[in-house]
Amino acid sequence: MQFASTRGKAPEVGFSAALAQGLAPDGGLYVPQQWPAVALASLPDASDLAGIAAPFIGGFAAGDPLESEVDAIVHEAFNFPAPLLPLDADGRLAVLELFHGPTAAFKDFGARFLAACLTRIRRGHSRPLRILVATSGDTGGAVAAAFHRQPGIEVVVLFPKGLVSPTQQQQLTCWGDNISSLAVQGTFDDCQRLVKEAFLDPQMRAEAELSSANSINLGRLLPQAMYYAATSLDIWRRYGEKASFIIPSGNLGNSVACLWAQRMGLPIGEIVLAHNANRTVVDYLQTGELRPRPSVATLASAMDVGSPSNLERMTALYPDARQLGTALSAVSISDAQISARITHDYSARGQVWCPHTATAAEAYEQLSAERRASGRWVLVATAHPAKFREIVEPLIGQPVAVPENLQRLFELPSQFTEIPATLAALRSAMQQG
């Protein structure tokens, strides 16, 4: 299958090329040109995520050098569950827990899939592939975990010194081996600028092939469509009704994946995006005018995005706000509402949300009674609350139990190099590393 750039000024490419390039040469994002036709009745039980994914990913990779390896790739990537747990007696409300991977956030799905593909694409190349990741918290940890000890690939994680939480910093700096962690004396924007400068620097490009692993990469989105496939199929088989999803959203990678699953014929009803105080998408749907703006800091920091990159993938399917509004809706949830929802749902149901997932729980409460009663609603839980224990624990007045995979990471020694926010400093850190 072929993938086209959202900007339409780059040649179409196959599966491997789209993943290896990340960004299309015209600055656009790769999107599927066709959708795999999979007979839903032939799919296995929802708990077999790899089995569900194989025919869809196989369709996308048809005719590509990786086609014959799809089975191995999906088994490597989907080696942890995405359980759907009921929140009420009749199953009208449920939570999809996407945080059972190595770094306890849904980004593990995309990062592990991309790693399984890129290590195969790079086989037989003598030059190492160096993946540069600027991170404000969650992405860097998932990418580091996924690529740790993968042959032929190095990862350089750049994070703003002092601006990530202690729990996040530990996940960015506990790896060693082929992962280097750099604490940059600056902001997240400085980290992003350094990555862009590195891509343009002849000396750094001579040393290694450079790549990126953020959610502009198609290889992060296709695997995310698979948990929407499995969940909607599960609900369809159980109740004969479509599943409606409420998705905590920032850069819109997770929600594009849900739209794509719907395009592939899966029984998905409504899609509601829960944003934090960064209201760019909410305002776009309301006014029809797109006004990107600087991000504001919120409790749900992994969603602090003022100019969501993946909106371009949505407008490739729905060219204006009115049309996009027929496919999904969006709400903005304030920090005060996030805090109150975490406190309330802990005391009322004993349910502990991370600040991101709390936006989805609050968005559900804001639906009209009719909408709630007519749907089969799924709250998408994007991270484990223990990742944000500094925020959650004071709100619930209790320590948050730490899952085993996170606990193991918390116990590893932390190692990182501090650098000034200059390209010269990044270059010399690379030569020592």
By rule CB under 6 A, what string of x and - marks binding of each residue 302-321 to ligand PLP? xx------------------
**Does residue 107 touch ligand PLP according to CB under 6 A?**
yes
Q: Are strands 84-86 and 93-97 parallel, antiparallel or unpaired?
A: antiparallel
Residue in 160, 186, 253, 385 binding ligand PLP, rule: CB under 6 A: 253
Q: What is the DSSP string of 269-326?
A: EEEEEEE-S--HHHHHHHHS----------SSGGG--SS-TTHHHHHHHS-SHHHHHH
CB 117 within 8 A of CB 83: no
Query: 131 - beta bridge partners?
Result: 155, 211
CB 251 within 8 A of CB 276: no
CB 255 within 8 A of CB 154: no
Q: How far apart are CA 68 and CA 56, in angstroms?
A: 14
Nearer to ligand PLP, 178 or 276 (CB): 276
**Does residue 252 touch ligand PLP according to CB under 6 A?**
yes
Nearer to ligand PLP, 6 or 251 (CB): 251
Nearer to ligand PLP, 97 or 154 (CB): 97
Binding span for ligand PLP by CB under 6 A among 87-95, 125-133, 244-252, 406-414: 244-252
Binding span for ligand PLP by CB under 6 A among 81-89, 151-159, 226-234, 246-254: 246-254
CB of 254 to ligand PLP, least distance (A): 4
> In 122-178, which residue ranges form alpha helices assigned H by DSSP?
138-147, 166-173
**Does residue 59 touch ligand PLP according to CB under 6 A?**
no
Nearer to ligand PLP, 356 or 389 (CB): 356
Residue in 130, 356, 376, 389 binding ligand PLP, rule: CB under 6 A: 356
By rule CB under 6 A, what string of x and - marks binding of each residue 159-198 to ligand PLP? ----------------------------------------
**Does residue 101 touch ligand PLP according to CB under 6 A?**
no
CB of 432 to ligand PLP, least distance (A): 30
Among residues 293, 241, 273, 281, which one has the least CA distance to residue 379?
273
CB 216 within 8 A of CB 208: no
Residue in 93, 266, 271, 383 binding ligand PLP, rule: CB under 6 A: 383
* Burial call 353-371: b when 16+ CB within 10 Å, e when fewer: bbbbbbbbbbbbeebeeee
CB burial of residue 283 (10 Å; 0-12, 13-18, 19+): middle
Binding span for ligand PLP by CB under 6 A among 34-42, 122-130, 247-255, 286-294: 247-255
Nearer to ligand PLP, 54 or 299 (CB): 299
Q: How far apart are CA 97 and CA 47, in angstroms?
A: 13
Nearer to ligand PLP, 300 or 367 (CB): 300
CB of 269 to ligand PLP, least distance (A): 20
Residue in 101, 219, 248, 375 binding ligand PLP, rule: CB under 6 A: 248
CA 150 to chain centre: 21
Nearer to ligand PLP, 138 or 312 (CB): 138
Binding span for ligand PLP by CB under 6 A among 38-46, 202-210, 243-251, 318-326: 243-251
Q: Are strands 209-212 and 129-134 parallel, antiparallel or unpaired?
A: parallel
CB 114 within 8 A of CB 150: no
CB burial of residue 99 (10 Å; 0-12, 13-18, 19+): buried
What crossing angle do the helices spanning 107-121 and 218-239 adopt, rounded to 10°? Answer: 130
**Does residue 250 touch ligand PLP according to CB under 6 A?**
yes
- From residue 320, alpha-carbon distances to 35, 85, 246, 284, 310 in Å are 22, 35, 22, 9, 14
Residue in 138, 190, 304, 312 binding ligand PLP, rule: CB under 6 A: 138
Residue in 103, 249, 276, 280 binding ligand PLP, rule: CB under 6 A: 249
Binding span for ligand PLP by CB under 6 A among 152-160, 245-253, 281-289, 396-404: 245-253
**Does residue 275 touch ligand PLP according to CB under 6 A?**
no
**Does residue 276 touch ligand PLP according to CB under 6 A?**
no
By rule CB under 6 A, what string of x and - marks binding of each residue 213-242 to ligand PLP? --x---------------------------
Residues 285-304 that bind ligand PLP (CB under 6 A): 302-303
Binding site for ligand PLP (CB under 6 A): 105, 107, 138, 215, 248-255, 302-303, 356, 382-383
